[in-house]
Amino acid sequence: MARISIFGIGYVGVVSAACLARDGHDVIAVDVDAGKIAAINAGLAPIVETGLDELVEEVVAAGRLRATDDVQHAIDATELSFICVGTPSAEDGSVGLGYVETVCRDIGRALARKDGRHAVVIRSTTVPGSTEGTCIPALEAASGKRAGADFGVGYYPEFLRESTAIKDYYDPGLIVFGALDPATAETLTALNAPLGCKIHAVDLRTAEMVKYTSNTWRAVKVTFANEIGNIAKSAGLDGQTVMEILCSDSKIALSPYFMRPGFAFGGSCLPKDVRALRHMAAANGTATHLLDAVLEANAAQIARAEKMVRDAGHSRVGFVGISFKPGTDDLRESPLAELASRLIRAGVQVDIYDPYVSEAYSSGHSAAGRGNDVIPDLKDRLIDDLDRLIEGAGAVVIGNLYNETVSRLEEAAANVPMLDLTRLNRRLVSGGRYQGICW
């Protein structure tokens, strides 16, 4: 079993830390957010994610996971560090490496005072060349040591999806890493061996590129499915049925994931990673006709939904779901939040039912605190009682589906105008008071 420090207790860091601790490793989580450190040490998850509350409670009680802001202690007490800090878009769409660079410098300074061997592995999403061009120079400058010789370096992307993060952690679609030195490659191979999945050991930059290719492919699939859905609807057809039949073609083996026509894609990863890849390509003088169109079409899908709602002409609208997908409290680049904000700016009264976002507020998570930056007065708009939301609304926008809401919404569909962006059930097709975005 290894002693591992995880830098960044966000959606990736906390899930990785808890899963590694459950697997028997001794894990120290490091963050600059005192609230997250306190939550972990109290045995509480700092985000809303299925199964995470129980897991964090279990591993903290077992003494295998603890959190600190003491970088030197975390480096001295472990032999492997994972960097899981954010890489948000810079203003020009390029990848923001500021947090990664800072944490590399922090780790480098601690490595300068450490004698034993240590490996630093980046798990944040960074464009090809970032590990070599930004992380390694920062680590070497701060430590006065040589990467690959005096300490190990790897790039090992994470592919988990929020809402199914723990399940994805144990059942990844693929495992790929790049390592500067054989010892780090061996460590990462051994760590992944229990998962029983093929391991692709490549160079650092190829591993970085695979991560962007994965997210870009998902964005392309969603955009293609949505466009077919929009076209099908314009011909009076059901776009979801069309895509389901297409996906049954065993010869071209299309996975049905990300192929269901509906609303725009969003979240903290797909939009920012498509932008970053596009920016990198432009810097290399390479055209990105498809990626340009993906971003344009995705923005148009939000405008399409906005037009549907505004054409319906209601002054008060109830949203079912506001986070970027069901099962998470994450509001980052949520297309539903963007749609709601536009309606609010246009003078529409917007009420919101979202059990995950409400839970984030009631648990005092720091992500909830940022909610009002995304939607004015978000906290005051949240309604925990679905009946109350439906009764007060001129129309209901179904953005995310939750098991407990299905039968109540089906019942309400008979009387209340509904704009469905996800699909309440397959029997419903547009007509009368009910409108689906692609069916």
Ligand X SMILES: NC(=O)c1ccc[n+]([C@@H]2O[C@H](COP(=O)([O-])OP(=O)(O)OC[C@H]3O[C@@H](n4cnc5c(N)ncnc54)[C@H](O)[C@@H]3O)[C@@H](O)[C@H]2O)c1
Binding residues: 31, 36, 87, 126, 159-162, 211, 258-262, 266, 272, 325, 332
- Of the candidate residues 99, 177, 324, 356, the single one contacting ligand UPG (CB under 6 A): 324
- Of the candidate residues 7, 169, 212, 265, the single one contacting ligand UPG (CB under 6 A): 265
d(Cα 179, Cα 184) in Å, to the nearest integer?
Answer: 6
- Of the candidate residues 49, 140, 158, 208, the single one contacting ligand X (CB under 6 A): 158
User: Of these partners, ligand UPG, ligand X, none, which one is at the site of residue 325 (CB under 5 to 8 Å by kind)?
Assistant: ligand UPG
Only one residue has tokens 């309440």, namely 424
The piece of 5-13, 132-140, 223-231, 239-247 that touches ligand X (CB under 6 A) is 5-13
Angle in degrees, CA 221, 268, 355, rounded to 5: 100
> Can you tell me whether residue 65 is helix, strand or coil?
strand
| Site for ligand X contains 13 (CB under 6 A) | yes
| Site for ligand UPG contains 166 (CB under 6 A) | no
Whether the CB-CB separation of 183 and 154 falls below 8 Å is answered with no
**37-40 LR contacts (CB < 8 Å, sep 24+):** 37/9, 37/67, 37/68, 37/69, 39/365, 40/9, 40/14, 40/65, 40/66, 40/67
| Site for ligand UPG contains 323 (CB under 6 A) | no
The pair of three-digit structure tokens given for residue 253, joined into one six-digit string: 């083996």
> Can you tell me whether residue 331 is helix, strand or coil?
coil
> Can you tell me whether residue 168 is helix, strand or coil?
helix
Shortest distance (Å) from residue 35 CB to ligand UPG: 22
The piece of 197-205, 244-252, 257-265, 401-409 that touches ligand UPG (CB under 6 A) is 257-265
| Site for ligand UPG contains 125 (CB under 6 A) | yes
269 is catalytic: yes
- Of the candidate residues 229, 267, 355, 436, the single one contacting ligand UPG (CB under 6 A): 267
- Of the candidate residues 50, 102, 164, 349, the single one contacting ligand X (CB under 6 A): 102
The per-residue DSSP string of 386-421 comes to HHHHHHH-SEEEE-S--GGGHHHHHHHTTTS-EEES
Report the candidate in 196, 178, 191 with the shortest Cα–Cα distance to residue 126: 178
Nearest residue (CB) to ligand X, 151 versus 353: 151
The piece of 93-101, 152-160, 361-369, 378-386 that touches ligand UPG (CB under 6 A) is 152-160
Shortest distance (Å) from residue 318 CB to ligand UPG: 20
- Of the candidate residues 22, 64, 123, 218, the single one contacting ligand UPG (CB under 6 A): 218
| Site for ligand X contains 87 (CB under 6 A) | yes
Which residue type is seen at 387?
D
**What distance separates the 2 farthest-apart alpha carbons in the chain?**
72
Burial of 126: CB neighbours in 10 Å, binned 0-12, 13-18, 19+: buried
Using CB under 6 A, list all residues that contact ligand UPG.
Answer: 125, 158-162, 215, 218, 222, 258, 260, 262, 265-267, 269-270, 324-325
Using CB under 6 A, list all residues that contact ligand X.
Answer: 7-13, 30-33, 36, 84-87, 99, 102-103, 106, 124-125, 158, 160, 162, 268-269
The residues annotated as belonging to the active site are 269
